[in-house]
Structure 1
Amino acid sequence: MEAGTDTETPVIEFRGIGLTYPGPPPVAALRPCDLTVKRGDFVAVVGPSGSGKSTFLNIAGLLDAPTSGTYLLDGIDTGKLRDADRTALRGLRIGFVFQSFHLLPQRTALENVILALVYDGTPRRERADRARRALEQVGLGHRVDSLPTRLSGGERQRVAIARALVTRPSLLLCDEPTGNLDTVNADSVLALLTQLHKDGMTVLVITHDPLVAARAENMVTIRDGVLSLSESAPHEVLG
């Protein structure tokens, strides 16, 4: 799985990508679409509930295979990969951040981040140092030994972001990353994502929140399974 990770190779390239669930009747969850996300982009994918955002996330994150089209991730044609290779590519190239943190409560912040390195081939002797650096990157170097139950919601999401970053992915794929946070913690997490983007990370956020979408440089709208680039203000898109 050689990758084109130079700056000219898009991180995500959809060519006629679509997903239709078999019927009867067949349901077009995502209609065939084209999309390019360049290295270093910050993109928000917005739309009302039931619009197809989750389907988009699952395809972009290599969790579901499309039923039509070609998906290139870092220049790699994902449709030509065996299941095991797709899983390996997902683990190496995509860092996931979910609404519900998914941290192990009995493990420290450091241990939660280290878990992301267990299956990616990182030598055991390097894991703790890399995890510690990732926590420092998100401003939690002083909380490495804390259990999630002793952290605020914003801190827990920062641990989750550190876990996503520690594998050095090409793409940070965030699904409603502030959905479980109050306003103060949400602003803190959004500021972190903005800084990561400024530092060169490619960030793609799926959201229904116009305040989250407003942080992105580019916006994609999904309505009734139809994806389109949007020039509207976030509140106009989301309705």
Structure 2
Amino acid sequence: MTLLPDPPVIEFRSVALTYPGPPPVSALLPCDLTVRRGEYITVVGPSGSGKSTFLNIAGLLDLPTHGTYLLDGIDTATIRDVERTGLRGSRIGFVFQAFHLLPHRTARENVELAMLYQRTNRAARRARAHTALERVGLGHRMDALPTRLSGGERQRVAIARALVTNPSLLLCDEPTGNLDTATATAILHLLDTLHGDGMTILVITHDPQVAARAQRTVTIRDGILTDGAPQRAHP
């Protein structure tokens, strides 16, 4: 029996988004993009180019107004809103520039929050949060509050929270934007390690040095997406 290959994690088929007016604004023009399992891709472009629109579509926060978006082979426009929310929660891990941690919850509790809507009992949630924090090098800080953590540690908690549901895609929006150079480098090394373990990673960035770490870079300018050639081998 011949085994079929896994579908791409992300497949855009002539995807576009126009915000209603007046006047209507074409934030992303029709584009095609394929992100295969295990790839590491960066998305670059100037402010106002359409990067945020791309992020919102890829993260199932907005629906395209044209074209088809398949996530893990699932047509995201043909399912109900509640199913789309569940798909986002189970298949996509988000990492943001601003961390978005609850200040009065410990690192472990912040990670556990990502599993609240799953059918997982409390003991299992705690165990999985522990494992995720260990994976990002923070097993010794799991009971610390975010206010007691450095910027790099807070971002590691955010990454652990994104990983704890075992997503198909790690979607990062300027993940080093609030960090100093040394701390940013450590976070990028962590992303390299996760990629080496097989994680599919897509990073939105304005930093050429961050972009250069990926296998290939996608450029968005004036709503036009250009898919770049591969720039380095899998680590």
Give TM class, smaller chain. over 0.9
* Partner residue in 1 for 2:154: 156
C-alpha distance in 2, partners of 1:49/1:189? Answer: 23
1:43 to 38, 41, 44: 41
| Structure 1 unmatched ranges of 5 or more | 1-5, 234-239
Give 3-state SS (helix, strand or coil) of 2:15's partner: strand
Deviation digits for residues 83-109 of structure 1 (CA, Å, limit 9, x no counterpart): 111001000000000000000111111
Deviation digits for residues 182-207 of structure 1 (CA, Å, limit 9, x no counterpart): 00110010000011000000000001
* Partner residue in 2 for 1:146: 144
Computed over aligned residues only, the root mean square deviation of the Cα atoms, in angstroms, reads 1.3
1:103 to 101, 113, 134: 101
C-alpha distance in 2, partners of 1:14/1:122? Answer: 32
The CA deviation at 1:8 is: 2.6
Q: Which amino acid aligns with 2:122?
A: R
* Partner residue in 1 for 2:28: 30
C-alpha distance in 1, partners of 2:16/2:149? Answer: 40
Q: Is residue 214 of structure 2 the alignment partner of residue 177 of structure 1?
A: no
C-alpha distance in 2, partners of 1:25/1:148? Answer: 43
The CA deviation at 1:122 is: 1.9
Give 3-state SS (helix, strand or coil) of 2:77's partner: helix
The CA deviation at 1:232 is: 10
* Partner residue in 2 for 1:59: 57
Q: Which amino acid aligns with 1:131?
A: A
Stretch moving more, 197-206 or 17-26: 17-26
| TM-score normalised over the length of structure 2 | 0.94
Give the share of equivalent positions with the same residue, in percent.
72
C-alpha distance in 2, partners of 1:7/1:190? Answer: 30
Contact between 1:105 and 1:148, CA under 8 Å: does it hold in 2? yes
| Structure 2 unmatched ranges of 5 or more | none
C-alpha distance in 2, partners of 1:85/1:102? Answer: 24
C-alpha distance in 1, partners of 2:49/2:74? Answer: 28
C-alpha distance in 2, partners of 1:168/1:50? Answer: 32
Contact between 1:7 and 1:39, CA under 8 Å: does it hold in 2? no
Stretch moving more, 19-28 or 158-167: 19-28
Contact between 2:215 and 2:230, CA under 8 Å: does it hold in 1? no
Q: Which amino acid aligns with 2:62?
A: D
The CA deviation at 1:22 is: 1.7
Q: Is residue 79 of structure 2 the alignment partner of residue 81 of structure 1?
A: yes
* Partner residue in 2 for 1:12: 10
* Partner residue in 2 for 1:112: 110
| TM-score normalised over the length of structure 1 | 0.93
Contact between 2:17 and 2:64, CA under 8 Å: does it hold in 1? yes
Q: Which amino acid aligns with 2:29?
A: R
C-alpha distance in 1, partners of 2:138/2:22? Answer: 51
Give 3-state SS (helix, strand or coil) of 2:11's partner: strand
Contact between 1:12 and 1:74, CA under 8 Å: does it hold in 2? yes
Stretch moving more, 220-229 or 24-33: 24-33
1:216 to 214, 220, 232: 214
